[in-house]
Amino acid sequence: MQDLGIEVLFKGNNFIRLLAGLWVSVRLALIAMVFSILLGFLLGMIMTSKNRIVRLICRIYLEIVRIMPQLVLLFLVYFGAAKHLGINISGEIAGVIVFTFWGTAEMGDLVRSALIAVPKHQYESAYSLGLNKTQVYLQIILPQTIRRLLPSAVNLLTRMIKTTSLVVLIGVVEVVKVGKQIIDASRYQNPNAALSIYGVIFLLYFAVCFPISKLSAALEKKLQS
Amino acid sequence: MAETILEVSKLTKSFDGGSAVLNEINFSIKKGEVVVVVGSSGCGKSTFLRCLNFLEQIDSGEILLDGKKIDISAKALPKYREKIGMVFQSYELFPHKTVLENVMLAPLLVQKRNKAEVKAEAEKLLARVGVAEKKDMYPRQLSGGQKQRVAIVRSLIMHPEVLLLDEITAALDPEMVREVLQVVLELAKEGMTMLIVTHEMDFAKAVADRVIFLDQGEIIEEEPPEIFFGEPKTERAKRFLNTFHYEALEDK
């Protein structure tokens, strides 16, 4: 039987290193996601503004983020900041900035569509009961918005976890990079390690993202009833 | 003579600078009075009701509650709306709250009343309109008629001085219309002050102390129901009432 190189995984602390690398990816995604959710809610509310200029600015921001590949944004922030602003930020911080920039736009658009999906009369019936604006948002609109948002927000989180692998290109040692190091280090003893190592990375990503999407489905169900 | 609760003078409203939807409306309602507003669709009757609650911004004119001009600043408006109940065509119960939570929300949050007292009153009112056993259900589990009765209770528990009913049976199946209108009739009997927009002419006849006929943003007729439905003064009112009689249409 052909050697699949799977034993490389158990040499030294290779597997622990892979897990640590995975944690770097997930941590980056989680931090960016927390910022994205907070800023995204703000952006979403701003995007429902009646002011056309405000809406236009938000629209332009959203389009820029959508058109620009995240990789270009990463290079722009990481190398651009060093070259032109003279700021030497770490790859991870550049990653957080870029993924927050991206996530905020995506999240903002999700929040916006969830907000406008709440019928106008929901606001009106709440107002006519004497609730003030803050109470209407906190008690009536946001709970309904979150319900609508949950599936797509979790989807965004899994997308973000996957996309963070790009930071490997600005020198952050995350799971894919660790995998590459392991493969390179064992090139002579185990020339076939690539398949099994990348296979394991695939399974690791699956192990992280699958429970998250299951969790979202369960939460959605619970909130419905 | 009973005191005037709500008074409107020269209320004018237009949408986006177009022609006036409401043109210098003068109107008042006394304590315990039931006024029904009728008119063909697009005549401005719903807009009129919405203006009274400032859900629509008015262009000019004044609205007075108990003789006092309404302060429409963001801070003062909720205080005023608290005293004006409103029920909508599409019920608009809050879908993420149970029936009881829907009813108890505003008294607790806005009026800061005692929870036990509010709960007791909510249950009493729900029982009165025949939906006591639904109190822990969510709005989507209720029929349209039940939802609308809950929506009425949700307004009533605030002890409003005036209740505005905006075509509250227009979205209901015919057999459910009656159960909702029955509740309104009982309220009228108890002396609730109400301003009602409806297309149910028989109901209007039964419940109204006074009928207002609105056409093209103006009050064309204003009189007791016997007169309005019996011998309307204007041609426009006659034509409007005729649309409810099919034989009359065929005669033409």
pLDDT at res. B1: 53
pLDDT at res. A49: 85
Cβ pair A43, A107 in contact under 8 A: yes
Q: What is the mean pLDDT of residues A65-77?
A: 89
pLDDT at res. B70: 84
Q: How far is A47 from chain B (nearest CA, A)?
A: 21
Q: Do B92 and A139 touch (CB under 8 A)?
A: no
Q: Please give the order of strands across the beta sheet that includes B20-30.
A: B20-30, B4-14, B60-65, B68-69
Q: What is the mean pLDDT of residues B201-217?
A: 90
Of B8-17, B162-171, B189-198, the least confident: B8-17
* Number of separate domains in chain A: 1
Q: Is residue A133 part of a domain?
A: yes
Q: Is residue A66 part of a domain?
A: yes
Q: What is the mean pLDDT of residues A157-161?
A: 89
Residue with tokens 């606001």: A123
The per-residue pLDDT for range B60-80, each reduced to its tens digit, is: 888 988 888 888 887 888 889
Task: For residue A41, give its domain range.
Answer: 6-224
Q: Is residue A180 part of a domain?
A: yes
Q: Is residue A69 part of a domain?
A: yes
Pairing mode, strands B34-38 and B194-197: parallel
Q: How many percent of chain A have pLDDT more than 90? A: 31
List, as one string, the DSSP characters of A1-70: -----GGGGGSTTHHHHHHHHHHHHHHHHHHHHHHHHHHHHHHHHHHT-S-HHHHHHHHHHHHHHHHS-H
CA A44 to CA A103: how far, in whole Å?
A: 12
Q: What is the mean pLDDT of residues A7-12?
A: 75
The per-residue pLDDT for range A207-223, each reduced to its tens digit, is: 988 998 888 888 777 76
For testing the chain B interface, which of A121, A125, A220 should be mutated: the one with the most B CBs within 10 Å?
A125
Residues of A in contact with B86 (CB under 8 A): 124-125, 128
Say how many residues make up chain A.
225
Cβ pair B23, B220 in contact under 8 A: no
pTM: 0.79
SS3 of B102-132: the string is HHHHHHHHCCCCCHHHHHHHHHHHHHHCCCH
Of A58-62, A112-116, A146-150, B222-226, the least confident: A146-150
Q: Is residue A51 part of a domain?
A: yes
- For the cut 70, the answer to whether the pLDDT of residue A1 exceeds it is no
Q: What is the mean pLDDT of residues A143-163?
A: 87
Q: How far is B14 from chain A (nearest CA, A)?
A: 19
Q: Is residue A1 part of a domain?
A: no
Of A160-174, B179-193, B196-210, the least confident: A160-174
Q: Is residue A68 part of a domain?
A: yes
- For the cut 90, the answer to whether the pLDDT of residue B115 exceeds it is yes
- For the cut 70, the answer to whether the pLDDT of residue B250 exceeds it is no
The per-residue pLDDT for range B16-50, each reduced to its tens digit, is: 767 788 888 899 999 999 999 998 887 888 899 99
Q: What is the mean pLDDT of residues B158-178?
A: 90
CA B225 to CA B212: how far, in whole Å?
A: 9
Q: Is residue A23 part of a domain?
A: yes
- Asked if the interface predicted TM-score (ipTM) of this complex is over 0.90, the answer is no
Residues of B in contact with A124 (CB under 8 A): 55, 86, 88, 92
Q: Which residue of B has its CA nearest to A135?
A: B109
Q: Report the residue from A119, A121, A131 with minimal CB separation from B106.
A: A131
pLDDT at res. B124: 94
Query: What CATH number has the domain bearing residue A107?
Result: 1.10.3720.10
Interface A:B, Cβ pairs < 8 A: 63
- The pLDDT mean for chain A works out to 87
